[in-house]
Amino acid sequence: MARKVLVLGEVRDGTLRNVSFEALSAGKTIAEGGEVVGVLVGESVSALGQELIQYGANRVVVVEHAKLGQYTSDGYSQALWAVIEEEKPEGIVFGHTALGKDLSPRIAGKLNSGLISDATAIEVAGGNVVFTRPIYSGKAFEKKIVTDGIIFATIRPNNISALQKDDSLSGEVHSLTVDIKDLRAIIKEVVRKASEGVDLSEAKVVIAGGRGVKSEEGFEPLKELANILGGAVGASRGACDAEYCDYSLQIGQTGKVVTPDLYIACGISGAIQHLAGMSNSKVIVAINKDPEANIFKVADYGIVGDLFEVVPLLTEEFKKLKINA
């Protein structure tokens, strides 16, 4: 059954986030041969429209307004709502990002629809669009379908493959004028704490440090390794509580959930709360002095040793590999 599916392109620092391309791929699956319409919301974002098309959108609707420069639930929901009323989609996909988590339940509430949050896989089976999503912090999975109304889902970054970009594609980028009324919550200031560079929740490689890192300086070798691999640095709650790093790096049940291709845990014991944030990573490497550490139970590869010896050696070896490649 062909459906028209809206996919929100999420812009951060002037570029589209990776998860938007993954969302287009998800949108295509849900559309079952129907139209995938990309949506861009912001102050000046229309130039990004063609990129959405190259990643699978058939066309793009843009809502630009001075009040949409920063994400606010009030501003974005007015913009999205106008697009929904005009397009009358049968499916909607957002990334399961801070923005998607904040906005999607509100839109679903207004639509009186269901919403499947944090999907990690989508397939069409037995006449249904079936979503897979982790529950109980990744300790189990459920398959879910929509039984009534619009098929609305948010997808977890790094799990659904984006389509290959096709530079030869081009399509219509249409601008929709929306009168954005008063915002009831105003952002006064943004304090940037998340480290520059690779976004932790979207990183393909994550190098994480625990209490074993011992100090703020102790994170330096981890940063070097992350640089070589084009990855991001993360941390366990223990390292954050000990003030070795900012809480913005925390991975775990009460932090970020990451599913990179490669997760290297350095000096992390592997408390169950930490595992909740990373156990679905594709490949896990554990480096720990304690051979009994719990982290070895979920690791694909383990080295028993001092991270301050192992990590710099690893950086050197990866450097060699990069040079030879």
Partner 1 sequence: MNIYVLLKRTFDTEEKITIAGGKINEDGAEFIINPYDEYAVEEAIQVRDAHGGEVTVISVGNEESEKQLRTALAMGADKAVLVNIEDDVEASDQYTTAKIITQYLKDQEVDLIIAGNVAIDGGSGQVGPRVAESLKIPYVTTITKLEIEGTKVTVIRDVEGDSEVIETTLPLLVTAQQGLNEPRYPSLPGIMKAKKKPLEELELDDLDLEEDDVEAKTKTIEIYLPPKKEAGKLLTGDLHDQVKELVTLLHTEAKVV
Q: Where in 142-201 is the site for partner 1 (CB under 8 A)? A: 142-149, 184-194, 199-201
How far apart are alpha carbons 84 and 53 in whole angstroms?
19
User: Please, which of residues 258-287 interact with partner 1 by CB under 8 A?
Assistant: 261-262, 272-273, 276, 280, 282-286
How far apart are alpha carbons 162 and 169 in whole angstroms?
16
Name which of 61 and 116 has its Cβ closer to partner 1: 116
Name which of 6 and 60 has its Cβ closer to partner 1: 6
288 binds partner 1 (CB under 8 A): no
User: What does the DSSP assignment read for 15-36?
Assistant: EE-HHHHHHHHHHHHHHTTS-E
- Cα separations in angstroms, 318 against 300, 311, 321, 325: 18, 10, 5, 10
Neighbour count for residue 248 (Cβ, 10 Å): 15
Q: What residues pair up with 122 in beta bridges, in sequence order?
A: 131
Name which of 47 and 187 has its Cβ closer to partner 1: 187
- Among the listed ranges 87-95, 102-110, 168-176, 213-221, the one in contact with partner 1 (CB under 8 A) is 102-110
Q: Which of 59, 101, 211, 223 binds partner 1 (CB under 8 A)?
A: 101
Contacts of 69 (CB under 8 A, 6+ apart): 42, 43
How far apart are alpha carbons 314 and 263 in whole angstroms?
14
User: Please, which of residues 13-42 interact with partner 1 by CB under 8 A?
Assistant: none
Name which of 54 and 288 has its Cβ closer to partner 1: 288
Q: Which of 229, 265, 278, 307 binds partner 1 (CB under 8 A)?
A: 229
309 binds partner 1 (CB under 8 A): yes
- Among the listed ranges 33-41, 160-168, 207-215, 298-306, the one in contact with partner 1 (CB under 8 A) is 298-306
User: Please, which of residues 69-88 interact with partner 1 by CB under 8 A?
Assistant: 73-74
Q: Give me the phi and psi of 303, to 5 degrees please.
A: -125, 125
